[in-house]
Structure formats: C-alpha cells, structure tokens
Amino acid sequence: MRQSQLFTKTIREASKDEKSLNAQLLLRAGFIDKLSSGVYTFLPLGFRVLEKIEKIISQEIESINGQRILMPTLVSKKNWQQTGRWKAFEELYKVKGKGGQEYGLGSTHEEVIVPVVQKYVSSYKNLPCYVYQIQTKFRDEIRVKSGILRTREFDMKDLYSFHKDEKDLDKYYEKVKKTYFDILKRMGLKDKTYLTLASGGTFSKFSHEFQTITPAGEDIVHICQNCGLAVNEEIKKDHSKCFQCGRREFKKEKVIEVGNIFKLGTKYTKPFNFQFTDKDGSKKLVVMGCYGIGLSRLMGTIAEVHNDKSGIIWPKEVAPFDAHLIQIGNSNEINKQTKKVYNAFEKQGIEVLYDDREDKSPGEKFADADLIGIPLRIVISERTLAKNCVEIKKRSKTKTELVKLNLLNSYICKNS
Amino acid sequence: MRQSQLFTKTIREASKDEKSLNAQLLLRAGFIDKLSSGVYTFLPLGFRVLEKIEKIISQEIESINGQRILMPTLVSKKNWQQTGRWKAFEELYKVKGKGGQEYGLGSTHEEVIVPVVQKYVSSYKNLPCYVYQIQTKFRDEIRVKSGILRTREFDMKDLYSFHKDEKDLDKYYEKVKKTYFDILKRMGLKDKTYLTLASGGTFSKFSHEFQTITPAGEDIVHICQNCGLAVNEEIKKDHSKCFQCGRREFKKEKVIEVGNIFKLGTKYTKPFNFQFTDKDGSKKLVVMGCYGIGLSRLMGTIAEVHNDKSGIIWPKEVAPFDAHLIQIGNSNEINKQTKKVYNAFEKQGIEVLYDDREDKSPGEKFADADLIGIPLRIVISERTLAKNCVEIKKRSKTKTELVKLNLLNSYICKNS
C-alpha cells in the first residue's frame, strides 16, 4: 500500500487523556482512534494487526478441531434467566426493543452455545465436540483504563468444548493449554506469559489464566522462583507454599490477563438440562470447558511489551505489513527503482507499506517508520542506488546493512 | 472436513414458525439457527458462506481503493445528537451504562466515520479517500420476517467516500455501481438484480438500489420493458414514463434490496463542520458518498434464488466447500481410496466436506448433499472403484459422469 493513500497520519504528541503506553503508541501511530471512554475504532493499520491476530488464533484453534460459528450479540433475556445471570452478571448491558423484547449484549456466550449444541448432540457418539467464535463482546465496566487492555467493547475468541465425562475434558483442557502457548509464541508473548493458577469457580479447584508481565498490568501474580508456576494474588494470600514444588520464594509481578481457561463441568449444561445418552443407555449431563483469549487485548499487550522510545516493534507475524519501503528523493531513477521494488513485492504477496510521500523529509519518514514499527525498513536513495543497493534495517536492531538490489528478494524471503 | 465431525446435522422437517424459503432451507441444512425473532446464529456451514461473501466484497472494495477499518457498536449519544438522529432514527437500539453513558448501537456509521476522517483530512491533498467496514449492525425492527433477509442484527459492508467536490463524487459513484455488479456476478445474483432508482434523500434527486427479483421480496420495482431501468414503487407512482427512455411499459416484480448507494453530499459533514482547505486557500465542506451491501441478506437472497425442491444450489464462489466427497460402503479398499482422494484434496487446498459417516444409507447421504448444496458431488463406491473411477455430479445438473481416479485432480481444477 502506498503511504500517500493511507488516510491516517502519525500524531507527534501523545493525547493527554490517554495515560497508558499501549494507547499512546497506538494512537500516535494511527492504529486506533478513541470514540469515547473504553470504546475505540481500529483504523487501517490497527485493523490489519487484528486480522493477523485473528488468523493465528483461528489456525491454532482449528488445529485442535474447533469449528467456527458466529453467535448473536442480542441475547434474549430468557436465555440469561435460565442460568441466573440476567441478575447475577453485573457487567451485562441490557437493551429493550420497541416491541418489548429484552436482550443482554453478549459478553460471553454459554447461554447461546449450550442450547445450540443441545439441538444436535444427543448421544455419546456425537461427543466430544469443539465450537468457537471470534467476535465483538460487550461489558459494562464502571472504570475503564489501560487503553485497549480493558474496554467496554472488545474482540474475543471463545472456544467451548463438550464432553461425555471429566476425563475427556481433562485431556482436551491440557491440549488447549499447549495451544495457547503456541498462539502466544507466534505473537511474541510466550516468554513473558505465565500459566497462572486462579480461582476455579464452581467446578474445579482452580482455573488457569495466561498472564503476561507488563507494568500496565492490572493483576498481580506471584511467580515461584524455583519451578516457575504463577499464582494469582487472589488465591496466593491463602497459601504460603508453592502448589507445585512446595518452596516459599516468590516474585511479585504486575501482569495483564490475555487468556483464561475454565473447566465448567455441568455449570451451564444443567440449567438447560443438556443430557446425552451414554453407551450403556443411561442419560448424563454433558461436561463443558471454555477457553477465552482477547484479540484487542492481545494487540494492546504486544504494544506494551514490544516497544522502545521511538515506537512499537511488531513481532513478524502480527505486523501490519512485512516491510516498510522508504523512498528518499524524487529523481526519475529513484522513482523508477523504488516502484520496481514495490511492484515486485506486491506480485509475490509480500505486504509492503511504500512511503512515497513527496512532502516529507527523510527524518520524518524514519521517525514515522519507527513509530509504526514494521519489522523491516528498506530505504532506497541516491546513495544506495549508487551501489546498486537498498539499505535494510530491522526495527528491533540498530545496525543497517546494504543489500544488492538483485539479492533483495532472497533476503526478504529469508527474513519475512 | 469430515462430516462425522461436523456438530450440526440436517433436519428433515422445516420448522413451523419459519415461513420464508431461505430460512427453511438454511435451517434444515444446518447453516443457521434461530435464537429469537430476527436473531440468528451462523453455524459452521453458514459461517463458511459468510466468510466467502466477505472475501469477495473486501477484494472488490479494495480494488477500488477502500481501506478497511472496524468501528464501535457502542456509539455515543452525543455523536447521534450532532446529526439529529438520536431522535430521528426510530430503529436505533439505545443502551445506558451503569455510569450513565448512553449509546446507540451502530446501525449505520456516518456519526463515527466523519469525525474519524476529519482528524486526518484537512487539505485537498488528502482527498479523495475511501474507507469501509464489514461488521455487525443493529436495527430495532418492529416486524421481522423473511428469515435472514430482514433481521434485528445483521452483517453489513459500508463504504464511505470523501471528496473535494460533487464531480469527483460522481466519478467514484459510477465506479462503485460497476463494482457492485462485479460483486453480485461472483455470487450468482447479477442476472436477477436490477439497478433501481429510489428516492434520494436530501442531496441528490435519486439514490440507487440493487434489487434482486425473488418471490420473498419485500419491495416492488417497476422494470421498463424497453430499456431495463427499474424504478422503486415509492417513486414510480409519481411518474408514468420511464426516466431513461420515456416509454410506458413496465413489469412489476417483487424484489429484495441487497445493496444501496447514496450521494450524501454535505449532509453529514456539515453537522461536524468537516471542512478542507482547497487549492486556492478557501475552506469548503467535504462531499460524501456512502455505499451499503448486506452480507447476511446476500446469503439469504442467494438461497432464495438458487435452489430446487431438494435444497440449496450454492454458486461456486460462495459455497461452504468446493466439493462434497461421499463414501458409500466401508470395505478396506473403499476406506483407503476415499481417504487418499480426501487427503490429496486437502493438500491442494481444495475445500472438501467428506461424508465419512458409517451409520447413514446412500440415500440419506445423497439427500443431505442435495440439501447442503455444495457445487460438486463426488461419490466413491464399490461400483465406481471397479472401473477405477469416481462418480461426479454437479449440484445444478441431473446427469452424473464417471471420472478416472488419476484424472480427478485435473477435473476438479477445471471445475472449482
């Protein structure tokens, strides 16, 4: 894409009412725009990052047999009443239609998925089954803060699994744990994310959170300095020893919860009386698990974790573009060579942001490139062309290197 | 995908409270599920169709330089007030947060996109610019009917264009008209869709609707039998002659509106005082166009237009899978050969639904295949293997043909 066509521009000054680093960086670089407190628009660059995150998540969830569906936002009052959450769920936005219909805006979808799957699953032969959604969810948060880490409207992936017994759930639960780390690895977050014990709700003793260390974190975990298990502060206070190895040395860290997984058991199948016929002819309640991960929150977390004083440093797989091609100077030769490189990239499906702006100085172009944070910066100027080269710099490094024009292709294929 | 894994099943009996053909077909085949009146879940097969529709639309809109963004659903009251639509827009769902914040659920996004683009566009040099979204929209319809043709929650693409003057808008408007027919052609709807004159609102004399002939249609158009121009009944009643050729012979048709395009002029830029500095230094209001097309409505329309008594007949580009591979019999040889074909397809990226169900008769499998409506049906049985063949039938045709196993690949490549 030509940068001269991109309708957003970078903003020099961080907005005053945005205290959090992720929002400051993303706003300044033109990834997001704030409509009101806790409500954001994802601009072209930000939408591209969201798309990349979505692609990674759906690939990984489909690798463990998740089947994707799209559930409604307008979830009828009667569905929420069936589980008691019409009253119990404080963050539910409630809407009333002109005809008197009442809805809670979907902020989690057990009340929809259970009756849907119940229509099709009646025998042990139909189990297990795995269904997921990636869509906008809503939560009436009193306090919103931390940029796009905690908002009133956000993108979530929720996977729901249905099993004939707890043993089968346990097996799949472990599989999802592993898959979550595969997802986080592709987004550059694995090293800073800890599997964390948290309170389990009604069914299992503990649930698991995926907590990423960042100063912007709203949660606190205690990480065992011996075995690396993390424990959420809410349950740590009752225990002085590590659950896993029994030692007592912990390090306290501020973290953001990027995902969580729950063994729900029959918590939601019971109110809908969702039973199946087992092999022996007996009727049993279906056993459930649910597994959430926040897409927009992941985007904010990546920005919090991967940056320097000049801007964001996107990990390769979630970057809005593979490369940022910068043209310095406007001579015919430079125009011709840069366009040639750009067209060659486009043809090969390498995603390039081409800074073809004529009214910007080299300094402004470099500053914008650092702020936007695309992994590879490729500069073409009179100086590089004199050597039949382009200058390449990785966003994460300081050194630049000259690469021959005729070797550029293979360089990019190796590095993107 | 293995059909034994697909959690939905086909349903023999059409649901009684669904009168419309599209909903009956889509419900029976397991594409959608109804949560409440006018509110549907898109199940795995339905989600795949929506994805295909989305892909076609985004490709075509990006070919005319649309930049994709994602706007919020929770649109602040003050934005709606600025244009007067907080009161004037009757179908707006209104929500109040615990902190007193009031929102209208996005059902059209001029109130968001105008202030967003205004932040970045201040000079004639930044114009024109084209921004689009594909997302869920909400409308508090008193009466919902016609299955997924008119719902309270639906997927829409909205493109907004910003121009320095009407002449530039006119030029782009004609381009979008052409692009809409390119989109409709890929979905198998071009032949039945008429460009229709409708009332223009405040700015231009007319707007244009894209109206597809179907008995389930809620609108009525009059099609000139001489030149083919269609006119919406709402404006036809004031005119007895064709606007284009002056003749008086019309045919009345029931139609469903799949898209509409508007010249908005300064209707929404004025309330936000969205001005730009022109070449001569003068300040002028930005001129706008908007262009909508309904994704879930398109899906319903395709089902209404492309079907026979046995089920849906999906056009190739929007089908949930490229081919439906059906195994008849469970001998080792049949298992082996069918799996081989299936794996070869998967490897090549050909999307196949593989009916590996052991407890279904050939008749049940064929009936399900017809109902689901995938363009190519490939059957492997003892009889076909005896000739080293598979049997292929196009969903839209009655005749079957035998294709040698070693020629299957090239047959599929030519036909999908």
Segment B280-326, tens digit of pLDDT: 999 999 999 999 999 999 999 999 999 999 999 999 999 999 999 99
Q: Is residue A11 part of a domain?
A: no
Q: Which amino acid is at B334?
A: I
- pLDDT (tens, 9 = 90+) of chain A, 416 residues, equals 999 999 999 998 877 888 899 999 999 999 999 999 999 999 999 999 999 999 999 999 999 999 999 999 999 999 999 999 999 999 999 999 999 999 999 999 999 999 999 999 999 999 999 999 999 999 999 888 889 999 999 999 999 999 999 999 999 999 999 999 999 999 999 999 999 999 876 567 789 999 999 988 989 999 999 988 899 998 888 788 998 899 999 999 999 999 999 999 999 999 999 999 999 999 999 999 999 999 999 999 999 999 999 999 999 999 999 999 999 999 999 999 999 999 999 999 999 999 999 999 999 999 999 999 999 999 999 999 999 999 999 999 999 999 999 999 888 888 77
Q: Is residue A316 part of a domain?
A: no
Task: Note whether B225 and B333 are same-domain residues.
Answer: no
Banded pLDDT at B201 (limits 50, 70, 90): low
Q: How far B359 CA sits from the closest chain A CA (Å)?
A: 11
Banded pLDDT at B219 (limits 50, 70, 90): very high
Task: Note whether A231 and A349 are same-domain residues.
Answer: no
Query: Which residue in chain B is spatially nearest to A296 when comparing CA positions?
Result: B70
DSSP state of B107: S
pLDDT in tens, B102-149: 999 999 999 999 999 999 999 999 999 999 999 999 999 988 888 999
Mark yes or no for CB contact B33/A97 under 8 Å: no
Beta pairing class for A275-277 and A250-265: unpaired
The verdict on B389 touching A (C-beta cutoff 8 Å) is no
Mark yes or no for CB contact B105/A116 under 8 Å: no
Mark yes or no for CB contact A40/B72 under 8 Å: yes
Q: Is residue A101 part of a domain?
A: yes
DSSP A338-349: HHHHHHHHHHHT
The verdict on B9 touching A (C-beta cutoff 8 Å) is yes
Mark yes or no for CB contact A47/B33 under 8 Å: no
Banded pLDDT at B48 (limits 50, 70, 90): very high
Per-window interface: A 65-84 vs B, CB < 8 A? 65, 67-76, 79
B80, B120, B132, B151: best to mutate for the A interface, most A CBs within 10 A: B120
DSSP, collapsed to helix, strand or coil, labels residue A128 as coil
Per-window interface: A 12-41 vs B, CB < 8 A? 30, 33, 35-37, 39-41
Q: How far A398 CA sits from the closest chain B CA (Å)?
A: 31
Gap between the Cα atoms of B210 and B213, Å rounded = 10
The verdict on A94 touching B (C-beta cutoff 8 Å) is yes
pLDDT for position A203:
62
Percent of chain B with pLDDT over 90: 89
- Domain boundary (B269, B287, B308) is at B308
Mark yes or no for CB contact A140/B41 under 8 Å: no
**Residue B93 CB-density burial (10 A; 0-12 exposed, 13-18 middle, 19+ buried):** buried
Q: Is the pLDDT of residue B405 over 80?
A: yes
Q: Is residue B56 part of a domain?
A: yes
- Domain boundary (A308, A343, A362) is at A308
Residue A378 belongs to domain with CATH number: 3.40.50.800
Share in percent of chain B as helix, strand, coil (round to 5): 35, 30, 35
**Residue B248 CB-density burial (10 A; 0-12 exposed, 13-18 middle, 19+ buried):** exposed
Mark yes or no for CB contact A138/B112 under 8 Å: no
Long-range contacts of B395-402 (CB under 8 A, 24+ apart): B395/B313, B395/B314, B395/B369, B395/B370, B396/B313
- Residue among B41, B71, B76 whose CB faces A69 most closely: B41
Strand-pair partners of A253: A221
The two structure tokens encoding residue A95? 């809407």
Task: Note whether B232 and B373 are same-domain residues.
Answer: no
Residues in A closer than 8 angstroms to B37, CB to CB, are 101
User: Is this prediction's pTM over 0.90?
Assistant: yes
- Domain boundary (B308, B329, B348) is at B308
The two structure tokens encoding residue A111? 């009340």
The verdict on A47 touching B (C-beta cutoff 8 Å) is yes
Task: Note whether B242 and B365 are same-domain residues.
Answer: no
- Residue among A69, A74, A93 whose CB faces B97 most closely: A93
Mark yes or no for CB contact A44/B36 under 8 Å: no
The verdict on A63 touching B (C-beta cutoff 8 Å) is no
Task: Note whether A287 and A169 are same-domain residues.
Answer: yes
Q: How far B66 CA sits from the closest chain A CA (Å)?
A: 10
Query: Which residue in chain A is spatially nearest to B100 when comparing CA positions?
Result: A142
Task: Note whether A262 and A239 are same-domain residues.
Answer: yes
pLDDT for position B16:
80
Q: Which amino acid is at B67?
A: Q
Task: Note whether B151 and B73 are same-domain residues.
Answer: yes
Domains of chain A: total:
2
Banded pLDDT at B196 (limits 50, 70, 90): very high
Q: How far B326 CA sits from the closest chain A CA (Å)?
A: 20
Residues in A closer than 8 angstroms to B93, CB to CB, are 95, 97
Gap between the Cα atoms of B157 and A159, Å rounded = 26
Residues in B closer than 8 angstroms to A75, CB to CB, are 35
Residue A218 belongs to domain with CATH number: 3.30.930.10
The verdict on B409 touching A (C-beta cutoff 8 Å) is no
Q: Is residue A154 part of a domain?
A: yes
Q: Which of B307, B117, B85 is nearest to B202 (CA)?
A: B85
Q: Is residue B161 part of a domain?
A: yes
Q: Is the pLDDT of residue B404 over 90?
A: yes
Task: Note whether B350 and B282 are same-domain residues.
Answer: no
Q: How far A74 CA sits from the closest chain B CA (Å)?
A: 7
Banded pLDDT at B202 (limits 50, 70, 90): low
DSSP state of B148: G
Residues in B closer than 8 angstroms to A68, CB to CB, are 44, 47
What CA dihedral angle connects B276, B278, B282 and B283, to 10 degrees?
-10
The boundaries of the domain holding residue A277 are: 21-308
Task: Note whether B217 and B283 are same-domain residues.
Answer: yes
Task: Note whether B251 and B330 are same-domain residues.
Answer: no
Residues in B closer than 8 angstroms to A93, CB to CB, are 95, 97
Q: Is residue B2 part of a domain?
A: no
Task: Note whether B202 and B70 are same-domain residues.
Answer: yes
Mark yes or no for CB contact A39/B74 under 8 Å: yes
Task: Note whether B257 and B340 are same-domain residues.
Answer: no
End-to-end, the C-alpha distance of chain B in Å comes to 17
Query: Residue B92's CB: how many other CB atoms inside 10 A?
Result: 22
Residues in B closer than 8 angstroms to A126, CB to CB, are 7
Gap between the Cα atoms of B192 and B290, Å rounded = 23
Contacts across the A-B interface (CB distance below 8 Å): 141
C-alpha torsion sign, points A71, A154, A158, B131? positive
What is the rounded radius of gyration, in angstroms, for the C-alpha atoms of chain A? 25
Supply the ipTM of this predicted assembly. Answer: 0.96
Q: Is residue A46 part of a domain?
A: yes
Residues in B closer than 8 angstroms to A43, CB to CB, are 69, 116
Per-window interface: B 147-186 vs A, CB < 8 A? 152-153
Q: How far B6 CA sits from the closest chain A CA (Å)?
A: 8
- Residue among A6, A35, A129 whose CB faces B76 most closely: A35
